[in-house]
Every structure is written in C-alpha cells, then in structure tokens.
C-alpha cells in the first residue's frame, strides 16, 4: 500500500464501552423481531474487549474496509501524481535555482508554494472523506455488535466489560491478562450471526496494531440503556 493509501485509510476507532453500550438499545429497537431476554445479567466476572480490533477482525469489517480501500485507489493515485509533481519542481529549484534570473526563480518558487498548498488541501480533504466513510462502516458494525456483546456478557456471567482499544494511560485498563479477553469470542459470534464468509486466503487481514488517526465516536442516544438489552438477531 502506498503512502497516500495509508493516509487515506488512517483511523483510530477509540470507542469507549459506554458508547458501545449506549448504541445497543438503538440497534435492538431497529429490529422488530422478538429476541430472547439476556440471561444471568447480574454476573460478577470482569472481562475486556478490544472494540477497535473486533470491528476490523469481523468478516464483514474485513470485506467492507477492503472495498473502501479499492474505492480510494484512484484518489491515492491522483495524490501520488500531485506529490511527484511537487517533488519534481523542488528538485528543479534545488538544482537550477542559482542559474535562473531573479524573475524566473521567483516564478518557480511561487509555483512550488502553490502546488504544495494544493497538495496539502487535497490530502486533508481526502483524509476527511475517507474517515467519514470508515465511520459509517464502523458504526454499522458496532450497532450490530453492541447487543450481541451485551448478550454474551450476560450469558457468561460478566458484570463488567472494559474496552482495551486505547492502552493505558489513554485507556482505563492498566493491565489485563489474555484469559479475560473476549474479543475473539465476540468476533466469532458476530461472524456466525452475520453470515458473511471469511475473506479469501490471499486477502491480507487487518493487523491488531491500531492505525494512526482519529475518528469521531458514534453519537450516543440521550437515554441511558437498561442493564440488559435484547440482542439483535
């Protein structure tokens, strides 16, 4: 992937567990199909989940983000061409600047500045557009994952689930062992529910490392969700 592709696809899905839980009632309410009540909603176990990793690791997430990556390839190529043009002008100024008269040199300097500003604006616009599209994908998956997570926690005796997407001190968890992490279990349950097949073996899978960047958190409803929300089927 080129430098500009990484820029366009840069994101950090810093969703707190509170934000996730608050999306659960809205997601469940959107599905009119009756669902069984969450069992054992008064558990005492403490668990962790990397929400960001879970979203990217689902079959649906891998599929949709790969589609987005391919969709952004033309813009990536356009930005690369603009960058090459700016680099060429800078090289010309560096190698020929002292040989040009004042007017010619000033004209070349202004051209470099204008092209550089145009490139920076184009990169920023492309980044914003990519992040907006990534947010749409992530929020769609999160809204379906939230009630599933609530059900999993209730069925397995968890009283608290903490998000480890952001490492301490930026996140709430100082340390947690792998035995309390339910990320894979939730991803497996999500894949089974979604019915989306796993990507082909030749398709690179997203790494667990968080890409750089920031993404706006999904809006939370005004009302606080109940302690147990019916899962979306």
Q: For the chain, list residues with pLDDT below 50.
A: 1-40, 203, 205-233
Q: Are 152 and 101 in contact (CB under 8 A)?
A: no
pLDDT of residue 142: 94
Q: Please give the helix or strand (H or E) that residue 48 lies within, else none.
A: strand 45-49
pLDDT of residue 20: 40
pLDDT of residue 11: 36
How many whole angstroms separate alpha carbon 11 and alpha carbon 215?
A: 6
* CA nearest neighbour of 17 among 205, 225, 177: 225
Distances (CA, A) of 205 to 52, 53, 213: 14, 11, 19
pLDDT of residue 202: 55
Q: Terminus-to-terminus CA distance in the chain, angstroms?
A: 36
Helix axes 102-155, 17-29, angle to 10 degrees: 70
Helix axes 59-71, 73-96, angle to 10 degrees: 50
**Count of other CB atoms within 10 angstroms of residue 209:** 7
How many whole angstroms separate alpha carbon 23 and alpha carbon 145?
A: 9
- pTM, to two decimals: 0.66
């Amino acid at each position: 992937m080129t430098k500009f592709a990484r820029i366009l696809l840069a994101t950090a899905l810093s969703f707190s567990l509170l934000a996730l839980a608050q999306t659960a009632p809205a997601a469940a309410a959107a599905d009119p199909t009756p669902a069984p009540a969450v069992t054992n909603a008064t558990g005492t176990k403490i668990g962790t989940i990397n929400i960001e990793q879970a979203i990217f690791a689902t079959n649906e997430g891998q599929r949709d983000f790969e589609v987005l990556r391919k969709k952004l390839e033309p813009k990536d190529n356009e930005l690369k061409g603009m960058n090459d043009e700016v680099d060429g002008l800078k090289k010309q100024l560096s190698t020929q600047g002292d040989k040009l008269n004042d007017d010619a040199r000033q004209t070349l300097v202004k051209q470099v500045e204008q092209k550089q500003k145009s490139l920076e604006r184009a990169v920023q616009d492309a980044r914003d557009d990519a992040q907006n599209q990534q947010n749409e994908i992530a929020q769609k998956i999160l809204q379906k994952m939230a009630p599933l997570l609530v059900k999993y926690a209730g069925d397995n005796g968890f009283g608290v689930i903490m998000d480890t997407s952001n490492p301490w001190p930026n996140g709430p968890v100082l340390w947690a062992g792998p035995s309390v992490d339910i990320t894979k279990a939730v991803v497996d349950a999500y894949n089974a529910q979604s019915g989306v097949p796993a990507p082909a073996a030749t398709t690179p899978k997203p790494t667990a490392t968080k890409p750089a960047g920031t993404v706006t958190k999904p809006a939370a409803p005004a009302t606080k969700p109940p302690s147990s929300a019916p899962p979306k089927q």
